[in-house]
Structure formats: structure tokens, C-alpha cells
Structure 1
């Protein structure tokens, strides 16, 4: 009789374990499954959606959000937030456009047209500088990340407006006869059939993955977000880590600004408005915890593709832009809800593991 009871208990435990594994699989792979569901749904609704060329075009759009999201991931892993990425993108694009127009030196009566690689370096330096200010305010002056980056959001956008007087740089072709070919190639050229913007996204994603998984800085980032006080007591240079992630976020935003300007063949001070919210959404949909310490590059990229493919799919089938906003918001809320369920389950499991005596007593 006891053997039968034991067998029945084991069977029930196996069923519960299988159910738990399925639920765990669905929760952890929700971004991937959501992306597959989006592709299948829009492929049935539109005959032009499921094609290699359309996927490549949509991927080039996703590259902008993906680059911003990767920088945002590094910040969120430390328990911070960066609301200035959209404005930094606009400022970087304006700086690149300004340089492409030629720098006039009236004193010498000449106009300098810097080569593309100089424009790229200077633009990334601008993004790094904005990130540096954010990092110093958060790490050394203890300004809440939300407030510090919100302030830089307005400052960067204001500087971009001042530089252009509210106008847009439209001619970004450079001067080929002077060695400046412009950076339209970044938005329109392809490498082995893949848009250059997507290649740039993949390269940055690989670098971020190596940083997080194969370096001491990556371990410091995760430990800072997991428990900042414990990390500091363990010898982690928490302040330096925070400054570094904000600088890297600024550089990612600058690269996104270059890609976007090249795709539009113009640079305006209003570019990237609300993009910071899209970047945060991509990170959350990818399974990262806003409290820090949890998140992956793979998940963030999937989150960016979910948002990008959903938005473009709604455009292709002719859905109103107002409804697009509603659907995107609903996806974000659902992602946050699933995050809460996933990590609450992990906390309960950790609590049960840390108190084995209680578990034995309950048995």
C-alpha cells in the first residue's frame, strides 16, 4: 500500500515538475515566441510581409532601436536608467550633419570637410561626453538616475536645436572631390546582401556580449545591479562601473544617430523623440529586470525585433498609427507583468532553498 502511495506521489510530482518546466520555458523564451507569433500572424495578413527583402528592410529599422537598447541594457543591469538616449541620438546626428556640411574657418578663408572616419569618431566622442556627465552625476553626486538623465534629455535636445536653429541638415553627401564621400553608405549599402546598419548592430551586440560574459567589467556590472552594497564591500569599483556604463550607453546612442541620419540622409534636432522609451521597452521585453542584475544581450535583441517587427507589420497591413501606439503599449505592459511573475517565482524558489529546515518541517 505504501509503495502505491509513493508511486502516486512521485507521478504527481513529475506532472508538477513538467508543468513548471513548460511554464518556465514559456516565460524565459517569451520574446522569442512572441517574435515567431508576430511573424506568423502578419504573414497570414499580408502577402508581402514574409519575404527576405522585407525582413532585411525591417531589420535595418530595428538596428536603431537595437543599438539604443544595448546601451540601455548595460545601464539597467547596474540598476540605473538612461532617459537621455533619444536626445543623444539627435545631438549626435546634428553634430555629424554639421561636420558633413563643412567647417568654415573664416580667419583662414577655408572650409574643412573632415573625412567620414573623423566624423564618426567625433560623433561618438559627443555621445561619450553626454554619457560621462550622466555617469558622474549618478555615481559621484548621487543624483537619482531618473532625474540626472531626464535633465540631460532636455540639455542635449536643446543644444541640438541651438546648433540648427530648429532646422534640418539635408545635404549629407559630403564632398567626394575632397575625400569626404558622406555616410549615406551606412544607411543604403549592403554587405553580402545585409544592410550595413544591421551589420553594425550585430558587431555592437557581439562586443556587448563579450563584455558582459568574458570580462571582469561584465561581472562587476551584474554584481553592482544585484547588490550594490555587497559589490562595493567585495572590492568592486562601483562608481567607476556606473560611469563606464553610461559612457557606453552614450556611444551606442551616437552610433544609432549616425545610422538613422544616414538612412534618412538628413539630421534634425527632433530625431529620436520618445526613442528612450522604446529602448527601455526592448530591454524589458527581452527579460531584463528594471531593478538590475538580470538581463542578456540575446534577450534585448529579441525584444528590439519584437517591437520593430510589430510596428512595421501594423504599418504594412494599414493599421492606424494611433492603434500602433496602443498595441505597443499593451506589449510593454504584458512584458513587465511577465517579468514580475518570472522573478517572483525565482525569489520564492531562492527563499525555499535558503531555509531547508522549514521545508523539512512542512513535510
Structure 2
């Protein structure tokens, strides 16, 4: 009799496990299909390629935030790092610096900010939210000082011979595939192996799961915690350079509009993990979903209010499911 009950319960159990593993993905696909029924332009190949191209910045910024959240931290300075890096590369090019040199200095700025965050948060014990909040205001002040009160640094008026190579980063393409999409794919692969297939990634998962157990396992928690902020700042600096290359100008505080979408993408990404952990593939899927969501509201002419409503719903849903999953253990 017990065997019969067990047999009858197996399909239900398998279905429940299937929903836990793939329910979020199925739900997103259903939402996108509904969007197509509402507006036939949604699945147009040109529209899809446009969303993929514009989502490259959101994907990379989300990966930067995800790295810090994966070690129980948070980096509030990511937008300012991207902004300031963009301003720096634009100013250096305007002053006649070679393009490779300007890019290296801008990315080096991101590295420097990451190392400072690493020191003050990991080794001086300043809480991550306070340390990065302070860094955010410091960078914003530097940025405003460099631009004489947020004056745009305009590059698109320069000769194509002078900045053609730089513009190719953000505006070049190979057929329907843009250089931005290629760079994004390369960086995603790098971060996938860094987070999901390396010793550092395993240590990050251990820290996220249980800090005390990680210390007892001889993991250098401070180093792991600090490196997450270093990699976060580096990728955000690269995003800043990419944004300026695409738009042809650098506008202070221009990246802050991405922050809310980044947090939504990161939390939605946890729905694609059995343990509801922060992960690379889930974050990429979450960022793409947010990108398509924003595109749909643009197509039908809805404003930011409705988009923010859905962002709030998805964050609450992701966190609620994570809490329910933990309570069942």
C-alpha cells in the first residue's frame, strides 16, 4: 500500500520539481508571447536585435552588481564608476591622448576604485553599503569638478579619422551583429568562468551560503569579499567606455538610470538557481527580460511609471520565492 502511494505521488513530485526549476523561465516566455499578441512589432527581428544591442550595458552592469551581492555585499558606486570612466576617456581623447591610452586610464580608474573599496570594506571593516555610498559621493564630486558642473564631453563633432577607431567599439558591426554584442558575449564568458567555474567562484558561493563555515574551511573571506568589489568596478569602467563610444558624448550621472533595472535583473536571476543563489546565467537572462520589458512599454507608448511597477513586482516575487525556498529546507 505504501508503494502504491509512493508511486502515485511521484508524478506530482516531479511536476513540482519541474516548476521549481523551470517555472520562472516558462513564466517569462509566456509574458513575452503575450507581448507579441499585443504588439506585432515585438518579435520583429530588427526589434530583437535592437533590444539585444541596447541590453549589453544592462547585462554587464548587472554582472558587476551580482558579483558583490554574491558575497553578501552591495556596491552603490557602480553607476558613478561607469559615469566617471566615460568622462575620463572622453576628456583624454579631447585632449589628444591616444585612444588605447585613454581607454586603459579609464579602466585603470575603475581598478583603483575597486581596490580602494576592497581595502576600506574588507580590511578596515567599513560596512559595504556605507563604504560604497561614500565612494559614490566622492566619485560624483570628482566627476562634477572635472566637467565644470556636469558639462557634457562631446566627441561626435571630432574628425572621424581621429575617433573612428574609438567609435567602432560602440557603433561598429559585422552584419547584424554589433561589436557591443560581441564584447558583451566575451565579458559574459569571462565572468561565467570566473564566478561559476573557478576556485574564487566556489569560495564566493561558500561565503554567500555561510560566512562562519567559510572561515572554518580556511577560506580567506576578506580577500574573496574584496575581489568581488574589484571585479565589479572594472566591468563598470568598461561599460562607461562602451557607453561613450556608442553615444559620442559623456554626460555625468547618465548611468544612474540603469541602477533599478540592474537590481531587478540580479534578483530575477536568482530564480534560475536551485538554491536561489546569485549566478551569471540567471543574471544575463534577467537583464535580457528587463530589456525586452522596457522595449515593450516603449513600443506601446507607456511611460516609466508602469515599468517601475513591474520592476517592483519582479523584485518582490524573486525575494519572496527565495525566502519560501529557504523556509522549506
Aligned equivalent of 1:276: 259
The alpha-carbon deviation at position 223 of structure 1 amounts to: 1.6
Distance in structure 1 (CA, Å) of the matches to 2:276 and 2:26:
24
State the shift of 1:136 in Å: 1.2
Alpha carbons 2:276, 2:322 under 8 Å: kept = no
Count of matched residue pairs: 326
Residue 37 of structure 2 aligns with which residue? 44
Kindly indicate whether the alpha-carbon contact (under 8 Å) linking 2:39 and 2:300 is maintained by their aligned counterparts in 1: yes
Provide the rounded CA distance (Å) in 2 between the counterparts of 1:176 and 1:275.
29
- The 3-state SS of whatever aligns with 1:340 is helix
Change (3 A) 1:275 1:16: same
| Residue number in structure 2 paired with 1:306 | 289
Structure 1 equivalent of residue 221 of structure 2: 238
Query: 5+ residue gaps in structure 2?
Result: none
CA distance in 1, matches of 2:43, 2:105: 39
Cα displacement string for residues 328-355 of structure 1 (whole angstroms, at most 9, x for unaligned residues): 222222222222223333xx2xxxxxxx
Give yes or no for contact 1:65–1:275 (8 Å, CA) kept in 2: yes
The aligned residue for residue 356 of structure 1 is none
For residues 144-188 of structure 1, the C-alpha deviation after alignment (integer angstroms, 9 at most, x for no partner) is 1111111112211221111112110122565565x6535222222
Specify the SS of the correspondent of 2:250.
coil
Aligned to 2:106: 123
CA contact (8 A) 1:130 1:247 kept: yes
Q: Alignment partner of 2:166: what SS?
A: coil
Unaligned runs of 5+ in 1: 103-112, 349-363
Within the candidate set 78, 89, 98, 2:82 is matched to 89
Match of residue 5, structure 2, among 3, 6, 9: 9
| Bigger Rg over Cα | 1
CA pair 170-224 structure 1, distance change in 2 beyond 3 A: same
Whether the aligned pair in 2 keeps the contact of 1:167 and 1:269 (CA below 8 Å) is yes
Structure 2 distance, partners of 1:317, 1:40, is 15
Q: CA deviation at 1:232?
A: 2.3
Moved more, 58-67 or 116-125: 116-125
Pick closer, same or farther for the CA change 1:120–1:172 going to 2, 3 Å: farther
State which of 69, 74, 82 in structure 1 corresponds to 2:67.
74
Partners of 2:91 and 2:282 lie apart in 1 by 36
Name the CA distance, whole Å, in 2 between partners of 1:214 and 1:20. Answer: 29
> 1:205 Cα shift?
0.9
SS in 2 for 1:181: helix
| Distance in 2, Cα, partners of 1:202 & 1:320 | 30
- Taking the aligned partners of 1:36 and 1:293, their CA distance within structure 2 comes to 20
Any residues of structure 2 matched to 1:23-38 within 5 Å, and which?
23-27=19-23, 30=24, 32-38=25-31
> TM-score scaled by structure 2?
0.91
- Residue of structure 1 aligned with 2:18, choices 3, 16, 22: 22
Distance 2:76 2:27 in 1: 26
1:337 maps to 320
CA contact (8 A) 1:115 1:181 kept: no
Structure 2 CA distance for aligned equivalents of residues 338 and 293 of structure 1: 8
Structure 2 CA distance for aligned equivalents of residues 293 and 78 of structure 1: 14
Query: Structure 1 residues 18 and 164, CA, compared in 2 at 3 Å: closer, same or farther?
Result: same
Structure 1 155/213 Cα, relative in aligned 2: closer, same or farther at 3 Å? same
Higher mean C-alpha displacement, 18-27 vs 155-164:
18-27
> How far apart are the structure 2 equivalents of 1:288 and 1:173?
45
Match of 1:54 in 2: 47
Kindly indicate whether the alpha-carbon contact (under 8 Å) linking 2:264 and 2:311 is maintained by their aligned counterparts in 1.
Answer: no
Normalising by the residue count of structure 1, what TM-score does the alignment of the two structures yield?
A: 0.83
Matched, 1:149 2:132: yes
Classify the secondary structure of the residue corresponding to 2:155.
Answer: coil
Partner of residue 56, structure 2: 63
Structural RMSD (CA): 2.2
Q: Is the 8 A contact 2:270 2:276 kept in 1?
A: no
Structure 1 runs of 4+ aligned residues shifted over 4 Å read 172-177
CA distance in 1, matches of 2:237, 2:38: 36
